[in-house]
Amino acid sequence: MYYQLCPPAKGNIENKAVLRINDDGSVSSIPFDPANTDYQKFKIDVAGGTPLEDPDGNVMTQEQVDAFLRTIP
């Protein structure tokens, strides 16, 4: 399981969700809502080292991840 940032939709520059690529092949879109428990877990996971990719599929460094976490609720 790993995470990937969504590409921005046309006309939108903000990321609104992150993808979770699940071990069974399914894909989950997790909104940046602090009340969403998957979002709560996402922040803990990537802060702890679970891979996070940018929209192009490049694995982000922990420094990039930490910087990104500071930009989301």
**Using alpha carbons only, how large is the chain's radius of gyration in Å?**
12
| Helix runs in 1-73, H state only | 37-47, 62-69
- What minimum distance in Å lies between the beta carbon of 20 and another protein? 8
Q: Which residues bind another protein (CB under 8 A)?
A: 6-12, 16-20, 22, 24-31, 33, 35-41, 44
- What minimum distance in Å lies between the beta carbon of 60 and another protein? 17
- What minimum distance in Å lies between the beta carbon of 47 and another protein? 12
Q: Report which DSSP code applies to 55.
A: T
Nearer to another protein, 30 or 65 (CB): 30
